[in-house]
Structure 1
Amino acid sequence: MSPDRAVLQRALDRGESEGGSVEFKERLRKDLHLSDGRRESLAAQLRHRVLSGDGEATYVVGVTDDGGLAGVPPAEFSESMDVLSLLAEEAGAHIDDVQTWSVDDAGASAGTGAVDDAEGIVGVATIREGAVLSTDDAHIVVGTAGHVDHGKSTLVGSLVTGEADDGEGATRGYLDVKPHEVERGLSADLSYAVYGFDGDDQAVRMQNPHRKSDRARVVDESDKLVSFVDTVGHEPWLRTTIRGLVGQKLDYGLLTVAADDGPTKTTREHLGVLLATELPTMVAITKADLVTDDRLEEVEREVEGLLRDVGKTPLRVERHGVDAAVDEVGDGVVPLFVTSSVEGRGMDTLDEVFRRLPKTAGSDGDFRMYIDRTYAVTGVGAVASGTIMRGEVEAGDELLLGPMPDGSFREVEARSIEMHYHRVDEAKAGRIVGIALKGVREVDIERGMVLVPRDSDPEPVREFEAEVMVLNHPTRIGDGYEPVVHLETISEAAIFHPEGGQLLPGDKGKTTVRFKFRPYLVEEGQRFVFREGQSKGVGTVTRVERN
């Protein structure tokens, strides 16, 4: 029997009792269990179970009163979880964790794969005392960049754990990465990490990277959160790095440069993307333990020269202090840190800077979230993940999803919201969240789609006008040039028609941009990056052409 299956068996073995913390429910229905009188009674029952369990109760759904495995269809299990969440909220508690199994496979372990509609589900929900987490405006999001093997993920791993690295990149395992990436020591997609600071300004760090509940604990215990979007350093995955830096609602950028290697071509490209998106940026020179003082000084001078070449003022934090770094970052100034994940050099300084940095990403306007990832969760359904660009969303909100390939939008409902594996009742701009959607299948959701309020009137576009700057091109950009445009989480081939017929390297100019295959939701003022081979550039949407 797997450990996960043992969770279910233990709950069944304990059974229901008058003074116990376990409750059996075959199913919970909105029209029945939330009706007059039933809601208050069931909330009181839930409160009793939580108090009996010293702040924790276990609800087994999909079983009969005597503990028999009856199972319920996925849609009814989802409805049961919605009802249970509302009852918990009324009782001053919240759902902390849900594990599910298919009744048709008695040996199955809890999972997140899809379950056929014909199969019955049984689930164990852990209810904990206390209201669901409410987020505030102290949450900052940092995007990392830098050449492969320049220590991005290791640096972030050491920050979120407070542990020194073993020199082999062990702390990078604390990020949300795939097993094959850990094995190879290379990141092939965006990964995420989080730590925070409590009310006494003490760091709240990760302890076990393999438990989702540990990340939820960090979120729960922190008064201020620092989330990292760790991008990809290998050249073949530059488009993924661009997606991470352009498609997330970042507050700051952190570029890493290894002391034993120095700035590379990829370093310059990543710096260009960071600055092109006007993101307040910092630079961390990593692996200081591997080089002599003379070599470290040489690399610092190289980085300073690189920054001055692009019109920025470097600020050595070891020399000028944390106050200067916090006060001046983003105002044409790029703070420069010297770090070692092995020796711990610079880690306390980075902690202090991240603790004090204010949020920069604005939150005004109606809710909007561009979708970056999708997945399916057993008993919940389709989940769309991304960074909220503006506004806020609450569980139960009615939304529109799209545009679909034909330009239409589909009506959906935000069933529930998770942030770093912690269920929340609402989320605001800048939060990296997963939203469980009712009314759509996971296979119908694509990266680059957007979630907006149902009462809005979104108009997708195939074509827009833009002001662009060509950062690099072997010859010139002519009429009909076809790069890939990266705008928010959109990555789509487009056709350029520059004003005057051409743009040369270093030129700024106007162009019409037309998506080649399908429409997207685009608005004036959005910034984007475009690339094709070795050609790269940045732009700003100046006018949209409605269909």
Structure 2
Amino acid sequence: MSPDRAVLERALERGEREGGSVEFKEQLTKDLHLSEGRLESLVAQLRHRVLSGDGEATYVVGVTDDGGLAGIAPDDFSESMDVLSLLAEEAGSHIEDVQTWGVGDGIVGVATVREGAMLDTDDEHIVVGTAGHVDHGKSTLVGSLVTGQPDDGQGGTRGYLDVQPHEVERGLSADLSYGVYGFDGDGPVRMDNPHRKSDRARVVEESDSLVSFVDTVGHEPWLRTTIRGLVGQKLDYGLLTVAADDGPTKTTREHLGVLLATELPTMVAITKADAVDDDRLAEVEREVERLLRDVDKTPLLVERHGVDAAVEEIGDTVVPVVTTSAVTMEGLDTLDELFERLPKTAGDDGEFRMYVDRTYKVTGVGAVASGTVMAGEVEAGDELLLGPMPDGSFHEVEVRSIEMHYHRVDKAKAGRIVGIALKGIREADVERGMVLLPREADPEPVREFEAEVMVLNHPTRIGDGYEPVVHLETVSEAAAFYPEGGQLLPGDKGRTRVRFKFRPYLVEEGQRFVFREGRSKGVGTVTAVNPDG
């Protein structure tokens, strides 16, 4: 519910008048308002309102013809928004924003309808997962990239990236990423203020290509959250930050291990170059090079070899290294050029699949599942399956609407970070780790699978019944390991049977995962699934 009731009061004060841009509707129903003859007149009316408002109209729903606050049931309001969306599409417009207020037991809402079709999401859009030790300048660097503003030396631009809880409560937004900027024919398109929904939408609309950053957490106690951020998204690249005044740490090594375990093409940004002298900077560059060579990767210093070489070589064995300062803006033009030229890597043309990362409820809209589209494409109106539920079943749902970076879209394809409003299910029944699939899919959730694993760190041996948390896609669940041969030692590679402790999930051969318990960490690949297990 929006706290800014002034929006509603202004719309009611302006009133519904001939030649105006405000329209009052108590309720819109599919049976009545989309019927033959009625549809055409309502589309013409909407087009007139949009033209009268110089490209923008305001529809107040849940009020009488004279502006009295009637309020309608949440389900009726949802249907009204569906009908209004269809009318807008027929009129060459789209719903830009919806705000709602409670009136008695019902809802009154103000919908802003804007001229032009919904955002075309066929543009290139790369998603970058960031990692790095706490205070190594990760959020500050991204803040300066997306705004083009230098930091004040105190992490000021980091504040642009704070997640505001009211943004989730007030709007239909996935926004798993904590920063976005883009490029057009003239260079970078940046945000003035990332807290403004309209500013993010402007960047998305004006850009020919986009870069989204998915945040992770630098503190050691929250490595689980970092793993979730890196494993649970359809990322194209990894960006690891190493502060010049601190150098690589234990957390740096762990984050690098997770990035490489997920086979993500990765680059390293040495941050805070302004805080040290040239000798220290050269020393940290050597430490980073040693760190990469220790894991069989070849460091490529972009300052020495150029952006062309970095774009061409980044991948399985080569890791570009860029020296940066968010204070002096050193190296940020190099990162701009890299992000503008790096190709999309995470596209998948198979059937639609999205693992749910977050869920929430929007008044008047209902359950929203957000996450990254892992494969295929989804459109508003698609009929899908959601699950597995705790008993292993899947629930039939319908896509009410889709939003990306606060911008309503008509469809989304692999690699997009989106929020999907679902019809036919309660928000309380949607959980992280569930998956959305086409209605015709025949998924087989499993409690048990076989895997090839590598133990990165463990104080003793791993034996039968060892119970770490497994991070697979957006699933984070305790599971029991039963190693082939009875045990696995630190540094070992081997096969193991893995059984989820509490409930089944959709697991597929070839998926990679990370497991962690205390100081123990490892990575694995699913080699076979056991639907009957």
Corresponding residue of 1:113: none
In the alignment, is the contact (CA less than 8 A) between 2:371 and 2:418 conserved in 1?
A: yes
Structure 2 counterparts to residues 112-511 of structure 1, below 5 A: 119-136=105-122, 138-178=124-164, 192-198=178-184, 200-511=185-496
SS at match of 2:87: helix
Deviation at 1:419, TM superposition (A): 0.4
Distance 1:94 1:456 in 2: 31
1:102-150 deviation per Cα after TM superposition (whole angstroms, max 9, x unaligned): 123xxxxxxxxxxxxxx21111111111000010151100000000010
Distance 1:298 1:56 in 2: 57
In the alignment, is the contact (CA less than 8 A) between 2:371 and 2:417 conserved in 1?
A: yes
Aligned CA distance change for structure 1 residues 190 and 433 (closer, same or farther; 3 Å) = closer
Distance 1:376 1:392 in 2: 23
One-letter amino acid of the counterpart of residue 314, structure 1: P
Aligned CA distance change for structure 1 residues 394 and 196 (closer, same or farther; 3 Å) = same
SS at match of 2:212: strand
Aligned CA distance change for structure 1 residues 380 and 225 (closer, same or farther; 3 Å) = same
1:494-544 deviation per Cα after TM superposition (whole angstroms, max 9, x unaligned): 111111111111111111111011000000010000111111111110100
One-letter amino acid of the counterpart of residue 199, structure 2: D
SS at match of 2:235: coil
In the alignment, is the contact (CA less than 8 A) between 1:201 and 1:355 conserved in 2?
A: no
Which of 521, 526, 530 in structure 2 is aligned with 1:541? Answer: 526
Corresponding residue of 2:86: 86
1:290-347 deviation per Cα after TM superposition (whole angstroms, max 9, x unaligned): 0011000100000000000000000111111111111111141000010111110111
Distance 1:21 1:48 in 2: 8
1:210-258 deviation per Cα after TM superposition (whole angstroms, max 9, x unaligned): 2212111111111101000010000010000000000000000000000
Distance 2:485 2:388 in 1: 32
Deviation at 1:483, TM superposition (A): 0.8
Misfit runs of 4+, over 6 Å: none
In the alignment, is the contact (CA less than 8 A) between 1:176 and 1:193 conserved in 2?
A: no
Structure 2 counterparts to residues 28-67 of structure 1, below 5 A: 28-67=28-67
Deviation at 1:191, TM superposition (A): 5.2
Distance 1:217 1:313 in 2: 39
Deviates more, 1:351-360 or 1:164-173: 164-173
Aligned CA distance change for structure 1 residues 467 and 201 (closer, same or farther; 3 Å) = farther
In the alignment, is the contact (CA less than 8 A) between 2:465 and 2:480 conserved in 1?
A: yes
Deviation at 1:18, TM superposition (A): 1.5
Corresponding residue of 1:185: none
Deviation at 1:173, TM superposition (A): 2.1
SS at match of 2:369: strand
SS at match of 1:513: strand
SS at match of 1:4: coil
One-letter amino acid of the counterpart of residue 525, structure 1: G
In the alignment, is the contact (CA less than 8 A) between 1:366 and 1:453 conserved in 2?
A: yes
Distance 2:32 2:204 in 1: 34
SS at match of 1:517: coil
Distance 1:154 1:255 in 2: 13
In the alignment, is the contact (CA less than 8 A) between 1:46 and 1:87 conserved in 2?
A: yes
Identical aligned residues as a percent: 85
Distance 1:255 1:179 in 2: 27
Corresponding residue of 1:6: 6
In the alignment, is the contact (CA less than 8 A) between 1:190 and 1:231 conserved in 2?
A: no
Deviation at 1:10, TM superposition (A): 1.1
1:417-472 deviation per Cα after TM superposition (whole angstroms, max 9, x unaligned): 01011110100011110001111111111110111111111110000001111111
Distance 2:3 2:381 in 1: 33
SS at match of 2:530: strand
TM-score, length-scaled by structure 2: 0.96
SS at match of 1:144: strand
Deviation at 1:209, TM superposition (A): 2.5
One-letter amino acid of the counterpart of residue 252, structure 2: T
In the alignment, is the contact (CA less than 8 A) between 2:176 and 2:417 conserved in 1?
A: no
Distance 1:396 1:3 in 2: 30
SS at match of 2:57: strand
In the alignment, is the contact (CA less than 8 A) between 1:177 and 1:191 conserved in 2?
A: no
One-letter amino acid of the counterpart of residue 148, structure 1: V
Distance 1:357 1:136 in 2: 16
Unaligned runs of 5+ in 2: 167-174
Distance 1:482 1:63 in 2: 56
One-letter amino acid of the counterpart of residue 79, structure 1: E
Deviation at 1:174, TM superposition (A): 2.1
1:86-116 deviation per Cα after TM superposition (whole angstroms, max 9, x unaligned): 1101100000011111123xxxxxxxxxxxx
In the alignment, is the contact (CA less than 8 A) between 1:190 and 1:232 conserved in 2?
A: no
Deviates more, 1:519-528 or 1:478-487: 478-487
1:51-88 deviation per Cα after TM superposition (whole angstroms, max 9, x unaligned): 11111111111111111111111111111111101110
Distance 2:124 2:314 in 1: 17
Distance 2:200 2:92 in 1: 22
Distance 1:58 1:273 in 2: 48
Say what the alpha-carbon RMSD is for the aligned residues.
1.4
Aligned CA distance change for structure 1 residues 241 and 3 (closer, same or farther; 3 Å) = closer
Deviation at 1:474, TM superposition (A): 1.4
TM-score, length-scaled by structure 1: 0.94
One-letter amino acid of the counterpart of residue 145, structure 1: A
Distance 1:545 1:56 in 2: 55
Distance 1:209 1:524 in 2: 39
Distance 1:37 1:327 in 2: 58
Distance 2:49 2:349 in 1: 41
Corresponding residue of 2:171: none
Distance 1:481 1:84 in 2: 54
Distance 1:298 1:53 in 2: 61
One-letter amino acid of the counterpart of residue 8, structure 1: L
Corresponding residue of 2:170: none
